[in-house]
Amino acid sequence: APRGGNRQLKRAMFLSAFACMNADAASRTYYDRQRARGKTHTQALLRLARQRISVLFAMLRDGTFYESRTPTVTLTA
């Protein structure tokens, strides 16, 4: 059954999720986790897009910029 909403916005978020999988390690990890749980490629991408929307709204709410949560590795000699 068709879902409501702005089709152009949904497509933009889907393409954004697809593009960020190789650019953002946290997004790729989230996608891989969804695939490991048995989701199809499209289902995992849609879940990633939804997660990115949640992050976007939090950024707008808090007036902040995106910061990747990828931990930095500190090497000690």
Return per-residue pLDDT of the chain as tens, 77 residues.
567 888 898 899 999 999 988 888 889 999 999 999 999 999 999 999 999 999 899 999 999 988 776 655 566 66
Domain spans of the chain? Answer: 7-62
Q: Is the pTM of this model over 0.95?
A: no
Q: What is the three-state SS of the chain?
A: CCCCCCHHHHHHHHHHHHHHCCCCHHHHHHHHHHHHCCCCHHHHHHHHHHHHHHHHHHHHHHCCCCCCCCCCCCCCC
